[in-house]
Chain A
């Protein structure tokens, strides 16, 4: 039986192929969140690929839309659409844009400009509470994205509204567009910030599947606070020469790099 770790490997393989074929960017951030996506879609989210708009589904909103490849890979592997459709990724005429598109089954919102998903996620969480629905809203942000003021407007409001059905996930891979997060705008102490803002706060290893699953389970409680899971991750996780390298926010692998990466992913 497939485990979430097997699934994560598949996600990275499909992602790598998409990025390589399309000569696309952003593989580093797509890989850093691959384990989070794997656990969410394998074990946590109440979703049905045959009914992507089922009104009782959990909502997952990806805010760092530039890392769409691993989300598309996840959804394709789960059967939201034919996996081979991803061969058209970023090609002329393809609906698979190089940022998330809500025209793709299973993708809740289009994202690209940073700092947009969390306010929308708050809107969804408010709607669920008003309508007494039990589905949850998950929202995944990057670390650099926390520079955006709009996120902090939501981070202030969500506890005020007791949005306990909102689970925020931070893919804390420590690298943003121009360098290390700590050198651009240091967001530490991040856990303490969220605690001070009245969030139920968890800080974990975002590549440890057992810890991810256990934390998602802990978030399933009736306490009044919104939840945040700060996932310490590694940009480019899974391919040695991509790990912790700013370059892989931009670069597309050469044939040689592609072959090496495939080898490492499938050891």
Chain B
């Protein structure tokens, strides 16, 4: 995904002279092609994320479309106040890229587990929150953020994620703000996946020959309410899955939206909701990403698919 990001960003930067990339001393063996092509629109500010976010705000004020790039919690939690105040309150054109969402850096420990940032970031006004599910979504989201005038957060996995949409003969050339993407068509039950849980969810449904649908949510905020309402009406049960704490995350977003749709009588009833995510815990055990996901309970069970 990070390769898809930098390749697409380079393509956008060829057309858009205002695209500027800042890193906080991370991105080794990823961002070099960008530096080679656009040395005057690249800056390494050193290991200093608060400074990076503030500098980005200043550059954006002067007309640049600034991408700030680091890993895990560094470009988000470390500089949360700069994101809220310097970037979002001033509503400037800064794109925050975090590589290594969820347990992508599993063995590196809790400092590198990016499992709370969506809950924090989605409360901030003016900020679009994105978590693309595969390289194709990544390219589409990069294109979207290049054209979008305003702050965005993009959670990226790591490297080597498979193309999921292509596997199901789908193609995502571009996305509009809030788009929800159908991957598998089924009946009665739908899995709502965000970010890197897409490949796992698709495989679970396919390998178990389940008749469930699968939707990918590259946007967590905002969501296209009309599209969401139409989808909701088709199902008796929704299973949300995310590599993030359950508190305040993607599943919470879905619950809140459903409640508001019911309250405003846009819908009269709604499906059962099963949320899959991390249940309010840190994990201090070494292991692969899959190992940590399993340990934290981020997995689908066959009985979730029995009505």
Interface, chain A (partner B; CB < 8 A): 102, 109-110, 112-113, 115-116, 118-128, 130-131, 149-150, 153-154, 156-157, 160-161
Docked-complex contact A157 and B46, CB < 8 angstroms: yes
* Stretch from B57-65, B215-223, B233-241, B249-257 contacting the other chain: B57-65
The answer to whether B55 touches A122 (Cβ under 8 A) is yes
> Complex Cα distance A131/B40, Å?
10
Which of A112, A123, A150, A154: most chain B CB closer than 10 A? A123
Q: Which of A119, A149, A156 contacts B86 (CB 8 A)?
A: A119
Q: How far is the CA of A240 from the CA of B98 in the complex (A)?
A: 53
- Mask, B12-46, CB within 8 Å of A = 1, is 00000000000000000000000000001101011
With contact pairs A116-B85, A130-B40, A156-B48 given, residues A123 and B55 touching in the complex (Cβ less than 8 Å): yes
Q: Which of B40, B51, B89 contacts A154 (CB 8 A)?
A: B51
* CB neighbours of A149 from chain B (8 A): 50
Contact (Cβ within 8 A) A122 B51? yes
- Interchain CB contact under 8 A, B43 and A126: yes
Flag if B54 contacts A131 (CB, 8 Å).
no
29 contacts between A and B (CB under 8 A): A102-B90, A109-B86, A116-B81, A116-B85, A118-B54, A119-B53, A119-B55, A119-B58, A120-B58, A120-B61, A122-B51, A122-B55, A123-B54, A123-B55, A123-B56, A123-B58, A123-B60, A124-B59, A126-B43, A127-B64, A150-B51, A150-B54, A150-B82, A153-B45, A153-B50, A153-B51, A156-B46, A157-B48, A157-B51
Contact assessment for A124 and B82 in the assembled complex, using a CB-CB cutoff below 8 Å: no
Which of the residues B40, B54, B63 comes within 8 Å of A122, measured between beta carbons? B54
Residues of A within 8 A of B53 (CB): 119
Q: Is the CB of A110 within 8 A of B85?
A: yes
Give B contacts to A, CB under 8 Å.
40-41, 43, 45-46, 48, 50-64, 81-82, 85-86, 89-90
Expressed in whole angstroms, the minimum distance between the Cβ of A123 and any Cβ of chain B is 2
Interfacial chain A residues near B90, Cβ < 8 Å: 102, 109-110
Bound: A161/B41 CA distance, A: 14
Which residue on chain A has the smallest CB distance to residue B54? A119
Indicate if the CB atoms of A120 and B85 lie closer than 8 Å: no
With a cutoff of 8 Å between Cβ atoms, the chain B residues found around residue A131 in the complex are 62
In the bound complex, residues from chain B placing their C-beta under 8 Å from that of A128 are 62
Closest Cβ of chain B: how far from A263's Cβ, in Å?
A: 40
User: How many inter-chain residue pairs (CB < 8 Å) link A and B?
Assistant: 86
Q: Complex formed: what's the CA distance from A149 to B48 in Å?
A: 10
Which 7 pairs across A and B sit closest by C-beta, in order of nearness?
A123-B58, A119-B54, A127-B62, A153-B51, A153-B48, A123-B55, A150-B50
* A110 touches which of B46, B82, B89 (Cβ 8 Å): B89
User: Looking across the interface, which residue of chain A has its beta carbon closest to that of B63?
Assistant: A127
- Nearest neighbor of A137 in chain B, beta-carbon distance: B58
- Known A-B contacts A102-B90, A110-B90; the reply to A120 vs B54 at CB < 8 A is yes
B residues less than 8 Å from A124 (CB atoms)? 58-59, 61-62
Q: Which residues of B contact A157 (CB under 8 A)?
A: 45-46, 48, 51
A149 to B53, CA, bound (A): 14
Shortest distance between the CB of B135 and any CB in chain A (Å):
31
Note all chain A residues with C-beta closer than 8 A to B85.
Answer: 110, 112-113, 116
Distance in angstroms from A135 CB to nearest chain B CB is 10
Q: Are B81 and A113 in contact (CB under 8 A)?
A: yes
Write the chain B residue with the least CB distance to A155.
B51
Selected from A119, A125, A130, the residue in CB contact (under 8 A) with B51 is A119
Q: How far is the CB of B127 from chain A (nearest CB, A)?
A: 16
Q: Which residue of B lies closest to A149 (CB)?
A: B50
Expressed in whole angstroms, the minimum distance between the Cβ of B117 and any Cβ of chain A is 19
Contact of B54 among A116, A127, A160 (CB under 8 A): A116
Q: How far is the CB of B83 from chain A (nearest CB, A)?
A: 11
Q: How far is the CA of A160 from the CA of B25 in the complex (A)?
A: 14
> A102-B90, A116-B86, A119-B54 known; 16 other A-B pairs, CB under 8 Å?
A110-B89, A115-B50, A116-B82, A118-B54, A119-B58, A120-B55, A120-B57, A120-B61, A120-B86, A122-B54, A123-B56, A123-B62, A124-B61, A150-B51, A157-B48, A160-B46
Q: How far is the CA of A82 from the CA of B86 in the complex (A)?
A: 28
Question: Which residue in chain B gives the minimum CB-CB distance to A127?
Answer: B62
Interface centre among A109, A113, A156 (most CB of B within 10 A): A109
The minimal Cβ–Cβ distance linking B13 to chain A, given in whole angstroms, is: 14
* Residues on the A chain within 8 Å of B48, using CB: 153, 156-157
Residues of B within 8 A of A160 (CB): 46
Tell me, in angstroms, the Cα distance from A156 to B86 when the chains sit together: 20
User: For residue B81, which residues in chain A have a CB less than 8 angstroms away from its CB?
Assistant: 113, 116
The smallest C-beta distance from B85 to any residue of chain A, in angstroms, reads 6
CA of A122 to CA of B48, assembled, Å = 13
Taking CB atoms, residues of chain B closer than 8 Å to A161 are 43
A60 to B97, CA, bound (A): 30
